[in-house]
Amino acid sequence: MTTGSHEPRDDGAAGIDRRDALKLVGGSAIAVALAGCAELLEDEDDAIEDADVPDEPIEAGLQTFLEGAPAVLGVQAEMGAETAVRRINDNGGVAGREIELDVIEEGEEALENYQQFVDDGKDVTFGPISSGNHEAMVPEINAQGVINVATDGTVTTLYEEDHPPEDNTYSFRFQNHDVMEALAAAVEAVEVLGVDEIDTYAGINPGYAFGFDEHEVFSAGIEQLTGAEEVYDGFPDLGADDMSTHIEAVNSEEPDVLFSSCWGGDATLLLEQGHGAGMFDNIELMVGPVLYGSANDLSEGLVDGPIRSGSRNFYWDEPTTDRWSPAADLFEEVVDEYDAVPTAHFMSGYGAVTAWATAAEKAVRLLGRWPEQDELAELLVGHGFHTPAGYHTMADDHQCYSNAHFGELAWSDDLDAAVLENVTVYAPEEVSPPQGKPSLEWIGGW
């Protein structure tokens, strides 16, 4: 499928003045800048000017995957965090304090990396990408008392069961959790095909915790919505070099819906081999929560077919850039700076920094001085803020909730890149349980 309507438009935020913008995004200068409306800033901010704030810059650390297969996701998070920091520093810093961001490889030592960041005197840390790494870090974060805002680490049970709010003070997560995207995939399949048209489904998911979790949640959701029967579940190794056995199994079973949470090279391999083996002629629809994470690696031939992809809490063209100038500005900035299309993982980094920075400036405004870690942690709970992806809320469980996106995978000749068409936006309450309710229990009650 080829479309030509994805050229971002450079359009000012006509009709909104500075006062309106400040009101909309929470009343702080950098909040406006990070929401993508910096051009509206003109006046001095007296509350911040008069506050007792140290002169030295804010020391921040980000750990993310910079090498190997997961770098497809990790480098986008790095670009996002750097973009947010650049925007903050270009607009005078957080209450006048610029941010110095150290970026290091996450590897398998996220816990040790966090400890080193704390030893180095970091004021705040961001990351990791891996859910296992995140799980290992949370107790240490609470023992050390230096706030960490995770970019990803999306395993749902982390804050639902393992570290409920009463045991967790300093650990937060920005990106949507995995239930949201797996359920969005199930709902999307029903929206596209209709309940009566889905009798069977299959799954090809990466063979590690994330893939197993996503498959379990999707299965629960699609079975609850349609009563469909699972006809195949395959779990190729992460970084597999052949998926043909799984594809042949799908071709043999001809399910109505194929669900795949494969990402990075696994996603492109599945699409390549799937096209080669005619898989898309044997299914009605493929839904993949993170296929678009490989946007910069996909080619025109791979996006053909009935494929719909999620894009977590950010798709750069939703709302479309000709109606939403903050997204247009961000898209152009990213393409100019990094020569890459921003994906949801870009927003993971951007949003994590934005969540902390806007809360810190709000705290300075309220306290008249720089906040302590516990004061800032308290203020982060319930904190709402804007990014070019929209409005986000850090809930009581320390999990940030944002819209979830799903759209039809397509190709843009203008961009020479993969895009999403006919994007559906799901509000958090549609695809995630109420606070305190375990996800699978909630799905069971649908």
Partner 1 sequence: MSRLSPLEERDGETVVRVPLTNGLTLTKGQTALTLVGILVLFGLPFLAGIVGLSWGRLFRGLLFGMAAVGLNLLLRHTELVSFGHAAFFGGGAYAVAVLAAHLDVSEGLLLLLAAVIVGTLLAAFIGYFVAGYVDIYFALLTLAFNAVIFATVFRSGFFNYNDGLAVRVGGDNPTLFGLGWTDLGYDLVLYYTTIVLMLVMLLLMWRLVHSPFGRALDAIGQDRTRARFIGIPVERYVWISFTISGLYGAFAGGVYALQRLHVQPEPTLYVFVSGEILFMAILGGFTTLVGPLIGGVLLVYLLEATRFSFYYYHAPIGIILLAIVFFMPKGIMGSLPDILAGLSRRASDPGLLGDDLQTIGSSIRRSLSRATTTVRILVFGVR
Q: Using CB under 8 A as the criterion, which residues of the chain lie in contact with partner 1 when the complex forms?
A: 66, 102, 104-105, 107-109, 111-113, 115-116, 119-120, 131-133, 135-136, 139-140, 143, 155, 162-163, 167, 207-209, 212, 235
Cα–Cα distance for residue pair 127/133, rounded to 1 Å: 9
Place of tokens 């999620």: 310
Between the two ends of the chain, the Cα-to-Cα distance in Å is: 35
Cβ nearer to partner 1, comparing 83 with 154: 154
Cβ nearer to partner 1, comparing 68 with 436: 68
Cβ nearer to partner 1, comparing 205 with 325: 205
- For the bound state, the minimum distance from the C-beta of residue 213 to partner 1, rounded and expressed in Å, comes to 8
- For the bound state, the minimum distance from the C-beta of residue 157 to partner 1, rounded and expressed in Å, comes to 9
Cβ nearer to partner 1, comparing 115 with 244: 115
- For the bound state, the minimum distance from the C-beta of residue 48 to partner 1, rounded and expressed in Å, comes to 32
Cβ nearer to partner 1, comparing 235 with 391: 235
Cβ nearer to partner 1, comparing 105 with 332: 105
Cis ω on the peptide bond leading into residue 319 (within 30° of 0)?
A: yes
- For the bound state, the minimum distance from the C-beta of residue 144 to partner 1, rounded and expressed in Å, comes to 9
Cβ nearer to partner 1, comparing 168 with 424: 168
Helix (H) or strand (E) holding 86: helix 71-90
> Minimal CA–CA distance to 132: which of 186, 70, 62?
70
Cis ω on the peptide bond leading into residue 128 (within 30° of 0)?
A: yes
Cα–Cα distance for residue pair 162/153, rounded to 1 Å: 14
Cβ nearer to partner 1, comparing 109 with 378: 109
- For the bound state, the minimum distance from the C-beta of residue 426 to partner 1, rounded and expressed in Å, comes to 26
User: What is the side-by-side order of every strand in the sheet holding 171-173?
Assistant: 99-105, 58-64, 124-126, 148-150, 171-173
> Minimal CA–CA distance to 344: which of 216, 178, 158?
178
- For the bound state, the minimum distance from the C-beta of residue 235 to partner 1, rounded and expressed in Å, comes to 7
- For the bound state, the minimum distance from the C-beta of residue 354 to partner 1, rounded and expressed in Å, comes to 25
- For the bound state, the minimum distance from the C-beta of residue 440 to partner 1, rounded and expressed in Å, comes to 14
Q: Per DSSP, what are the bridge partners of residue 104?
A: 63
Cα–Cα distance for residue pair 256/253, rounded to 1 Å: 9
DSSP calls for 390-425:
EEEEE-TTSBEE--EEEEEEEEETTTTEEEEEEEEE
Cβ nearer to partner 1, comparing 90 with 167: 167
Report H helices in 145-261: 157, 178-193, 209-226, 244-253
- For the bound state, the minimum distance from the C-beta of residue 158 to partner 1, rounded and expressed in Å, comes to 9
Q: Assess contact for 261 and 233: CB atoms under 8 A.
A: no
> What Rg, from alpha-carbon coordinates, does the chain have?
21
- The residue type of 11 is D
Surface-to-core class of residue 354, CB atoms within 10 Å of its CB (0-12 exposed, 13-18 middle, 19+ buried):
buried
- For the bound state, the minimum distance from the C-beta of residue 75 to partner 1, rounded and expressed in Å, comes to 12
Cβ nearer to partner 1, comparing 216 with 317: 216
